[in-house]
Amino acid sequence: MRAIKILGFFFLISFAGFGQINWQPTLAEAFKQAKVENKLVLVECFHPQCSHCISLNQNLDDPEIQRVLNEKYINYRIDISNRIQYQELKDRNISLIQWPVFLVFNKEDSLTNYVEPTELLASLKLQLANVEFSSDLKCDRVGIEEPNIDLLSKCGVYYRMTQNIEKNNEMANYLYFWLNQENIGSEKSWMVYKKSVSSSDNLLAQFWLQNLSLATQYEKSENVVKEIMAAQLQTKMISLYKSDKLTPQDVVTLKEELTKIGADETKILSFTWNLELITLIKSGDFKNAKILCNKVVNQFPTPGAFITVFRLINDQMNTSELNSFFEENIEVLTQKAVKNQELSKELLLQSARFYSKANNLKACRESLQKAAELGFNQQQEFEEKYCR
């Protein structure tokens, strides 16, 4: 009897994983196993409160789908609501624009494809059986000689997810060319645009910025259209901020585009002040730079806003022309931030940098000492960099 029980135990162990997708415990383990088995890594991204995601996960209980996923891929899943898991995508510079979605990586940890899974079980089986699902998108080969709007749109989404704005704009220009052959003002064009395009620096975006009423007709909501446009202008703002070729005209153009979508003065200021301040500092126009700084902190009178302005000044210049703005605000700001340890610490660090520019090395060291008392553990490193 005991022997039968032991055999039964091993029988259960042997089939414990039968009929289930072999989800890896971590993404790192998935890539490790992919190299061993020479397979692609499939990452299911879902949100527990998303109805489409719930339907998908029910379909993943299908034995045929489980067999295909286990045979063809090393599998891992990311709960978008789990900040630690989602960080695994952010670490790879991937930003999801919708879910559920299957991301396909090669064993070298590069995203090569993605699939937006359907809710219908039969359609999902066809998707997973499609050999194209496993292949590289080859977006670098798609362009003016490839009149495939669906593929161009998919590549646009791919570059949007991987935050490659330059390539996304390139795909958007190709889309504009081919959509213009059909009907650039069609509902299909709008749907392709809002899904595939991440910035406004392309012909397709410029067309829809000029035709907001037509977009509203298709979307049936002016606010939704404005939100879509605002998100793309924000992406443009981030791209300009990172660029070493930022010009005053770029700032003017961005303001004009924000005005087109009905942004008020406060919204325009929040989108453009950092870009404008950089151009003023680069041109040596410190008088107007100070005026702009005061305008920002008057409009957004919080310690966080002050510190953000302080940090940008410190990052952009090594001279003391804007020290007066710092000196006029530091005392009151210190009192406001004292209740928040992290804000106080950051304020002290930025203060040390300002004192360094003014060659007030004693005040620089004192600020870093106070920051150390709040938990800053790089005091010596910062002293050597700024206070000597």
CATH of the domain at 80: 3.40.30.10
User: Which residues are CB-contacts of 246 (< 8 A; sequence separation ≥ 6)?
Assistant: 240, 275, 278, 279
Burial of 258 (0-12, 13-18, 19+ CB in 10 A): buried
pLDDT class for 123, splitting at 50, 70, 90? confident
Select from 89, 119, 136 the last residue of a domain. Answer: 136
**From CA 77, how far away is CA 27, in angstroms rounded?**
8
The pLDDT-based confidence of 130 (bands split at 50, 70, 90) is low
Q: Check residue 127 and give its pLDDT.
A: 78
Instruction: Band the pLDDT of 107: cuts 50, 70, 90.
Output: confident
- Please tell me the predicted confidence (pLDDT) of residue 143: 72
8 Å CB contact between 133 and 113: yes
Q: What is the pLDDT of residues 335-358, one digit of tens each?
A: 877 678 888 999 999 999 999 999
Residue 148 has pLDDT above 90, yes or no: no
Helix residue ranges, H only, 99-247: 121-129, 149-161, 165-182, 187-196, 203-209, 212-219, 222-242
Give the pLDDT score at 132: 55
Which of the listed residues 101, 136, 171 is the one where a domain comes to its end? 136
**8 A C-beta contact, residue 85 and residue 78:** yes
CB 343 within 8 A of CB 306: no
Residue with tokens 């695994």: 88
Cα separation, 24 vs 317, whole angstroms = 48
Which among 286, 288, 232, 276 has a CA at the least distance from the CA of 250?
276
CA 155/CA 142 separation, integer angstroms: 8
How many Å apart are CA 147 and CA 130, to the nearest integer? Answer: 22
Higher pLDDT, 143 or 22: 22
Residue at 59 is within a domain: yes
Q: Which whole number is the average pLDDT over 207-224?
A: 97
List, for residues 366-388, the tens digit of each pLDDT value.
999 999 998 989 989 999 999 98
pLDDT, residue 129, reads 72
227-285, pLDDT tens digit by residue? 999 999 999 999 999 999 999 999 999 999 999 999 999 999 999 999 999 999 999 99
Q: How many domains does the chain have?
A: 2
Res 256: pLDDT: 97
Question: Under a CB-based contact definition with an 8 Å cutoff, are residues 199 and 161 in contact?
Answer: no
Where does the pLDDT of residue 361 fall: very low under 50, low under 70, confident under 90, or very high at 90 and above? very high
Q: Please, are residues 44 and 102 in contact by the beta-carbon 8 Å criterion?
A: yes
Region 5-31: mean pLDDT is 62
The pLDDT assigned to 142 comes to 77
> What confidence score (pLDDT) does residue 283 get?
96
CA distance linking residue 26 with residue 4, whole number of Å = 37
**Confidence at 146, pLDDT banded by 50, 70, 90:** low
Residue 7 lies in a domain: no
More confident residue, 132 or 353: 353
Q: Which two tokens stand for residue 289?
A: 């730079």
Q: Is the pLDDT of residue 19 over 70?
A: no
Between 11 and 69, the higher pLDDT residue? 69
Residues 6+ away with beta carbon under 8 Å from 123: none
The strand pairing partners of 105, in sequence order, are 41, 111
- Residue 226 inside a domain? The answer is no
The percent of residues above 90 in pLDDT, for the chain, comes to: 74
Find how far residue 238's CA is from the centre of its chain: 10
Looking from the CA of 100 toward its CB, the CA atoms found within 13 Å total 26
Q: What is the pLDDT of residue 137?
A: 83
The residue type of 111 is L
C-alpha neighbours within 13 Å on the C-beta side of residue 14: 6
**Are 270 and 276 within 8 A, CB to CB?**
no
Q: The domain containing residue 99 runs over which residues?
A: 20-136
Find where tokens 């992406």 sit.
Answer: 235
pLDDT reading at 8 higher than 50: no
What pLDDT score was predicted for residue 3? 44
Residue 121 lies in a domain: yes
Domain assignment present for residue 105? The answer is yes
Would you give the end-to-end CA distance of the chain in angstroms? 82
In whole numbers, what is the pLDDT of the chain averaged over residues? 89
Confidence of residue 122 (pLDDT cuts 50, 70, 90): confident
Within a domain: residue 88? Answer: yes
Kindly state whether residue 99 falls inside one of the protein's structural domains: yes
Choosing from 136, 160, 177, the residue where a domain stops is 136
pLDDT at residue 341, as a whole number:
87
Residue 157: count other Cβ atoms within 10 Å of its Cβ. Answer: 23
Residue 364: both structure tokens together? 């620089």
pLDDT of residue 16: 34
> What are the structure tokens assigned to 240, written together?
């300009």
151 in a domain, yes or no?
Answer: no
The full DSSP string for 209-271 is: HS-HHHHHHHHT-HHHHHHHHHHHHHHHHHHHHH-S---HHHHHHHHHHHHHTT--HHHHHHH
